[in-house]
Amino acid sequence: MTVRTRFAPSPTGYLHVGGARTALFNWLFARKHGGTFLLRVEDTDEARNTDAAKQAIFDGLLWLGLDWDEGPDRGGNHGPYFQSERKPVYDAWFDKLVTAGRVYQDDGAWRFRFDRKQMTMQDLVCGEVIIDYRDESNTPDMVVKRSDGSYVFHFVNVVDDLEMEITHVIRGEDHLMNTPKHLQLIEALGGSPPQYAHLPLILNPDGSKMSKRDAGAAVDDYPRQGFLPGAVVNFIALLGWSPKTDQEIFSLEELADRFALENVNRAPARFDFEKCKWVNQQHLVALSPGDFSVAAEPFVRAAGLPVPDHFTAVAAAVKDKVRLLEEVPTAVDFLLHDAFSYDEETVTKARANPAVNELLETLAQQFDTLSDWSGDGAKAALNETAKTASIKPGPLMFALRVALSGRAHGPDLGEILNILGQNRSTARVRQFSKML
């Protein structure tokens, strides 16, 4: 059997992180088994569907790296892939229900007549689920075709899965109770049902249901904040799935190799945005200096900062210091221009040593005389200045960092000195000494 999975979003808003996880798990399962991942668009709600929302879904999936094998912009043998274009298909399948006597009219609408029996299904995540259809008061016959001639979700969803030969339906737990209805429809239509796997809910850290307004809910926010797509995929994969090891950082290819529905948890997943940022940091650290600078450059330009020829070295200096690419401009601004600001609390701390003013001036003189400038040579000059003054180098090193960057923390001091060069470093030390 060739595995065929699908993601079937409604284009009524942005791509939600829950939808992205559903798409990811379907993509991973298909890739793991050498199958086909299909995208179809459930766009029959004309009042709420928008072209912008449709494009946001496409863009979000492609940004995450979840390319589809069949669907819009790809084609395939099971189209059209927009439900709004499939009415003739639905009409033909509805006629089968009419012929079989499984539908009847009720106030202009058409209802599907349930087979009044107990339904037992085996879900690949949730296990055995039993729904008793013998009590009609709890399970009334459902509408499948409205009085205006349009079809409801349950009917078109089942027809599309049959027509498109879907073998595995991997979707959110909120659809779990719909599945027995779908199985009855499939049986009435003479089809073979796919296997079902219902994914646990995604909750906020406090256990509340994740809403559209919560941080991290909208996939299109991630690129603007400076997340890497691989990091977001990595984090989303761990929302409800476990590799059964202590490993937390994965590439998309590793996830596809390791993914298994048996390792999807039954309990709801907790969305921790801080953990998502940490995962992103691990992916940033793994980048080469060149790749990191390419990823960071748009954010630096957007902040109005210059991008010099040696920007790769500038960016590399903070590669291990930031969690998001949007943090890079603030982290490197002092390396790109001389009009940076000083943190007042840090300046006050530097002033606590009454001798620091004179020591910085002495250090500036030492810098002036260095014939072979390098960060290491400058640091050696600092140690010599401290030794001559009979003090530990720590306080002078702190004062030098503040003089060069205006802050207490940041890149390695040697990297700062190398990037700024002899003249700019010396000028900053003299300027800061006059402020003390």
Checking phi first, is residue 76 left (phi over 0); if not, alpha (psi -120 to 50) or beta? left
Distance of alpha carbon 288 from alpha carbon 291, whole angstroms: 5
- In the block, tokens 């298994």 appear at 260
Task: Write the DSSP string, 351-365.
Answer: HTSTTHHHHHHHHHH
- 222 is written with which tokens? 């991630």
Distance of alpha carbon 220 from alpha carbon 60, whole angstroms: 6
User: β-strand 269-270 against 202-203: which pairing, if any?
Assistant: parallel
User: At 103, is the secondary structure helix, strand, or coil?
Assistant: strand
Element (H, E) at 309: none
Q: Do 39 and 61 form a contact (C-beta atoms < 8 A)? A: yes
Distance of alpha carbon 235 from alpha carbon 180, whole angstroms: 32
User: β-strand 4-7 against 36-39: which pairing, if any?
Assistant: parallel
Nearest Cα residue to 180 out of 241, 240, 138: 138
Question: Rounded to whole angstroms, what are the CA distances from 161 to 8, 38, 98, 194, 342?
Answer: 10, 11, 20, 8, 62
Residues 6+ apart with CB under 8 A from 30: 3, 4, 5, 36, 37, 69
Can 321 be counted among the known catalytic residues? no
Catalytic residue, candidates 117, 145, 212, 349: 212
As annotated, the active-site residues are: 212
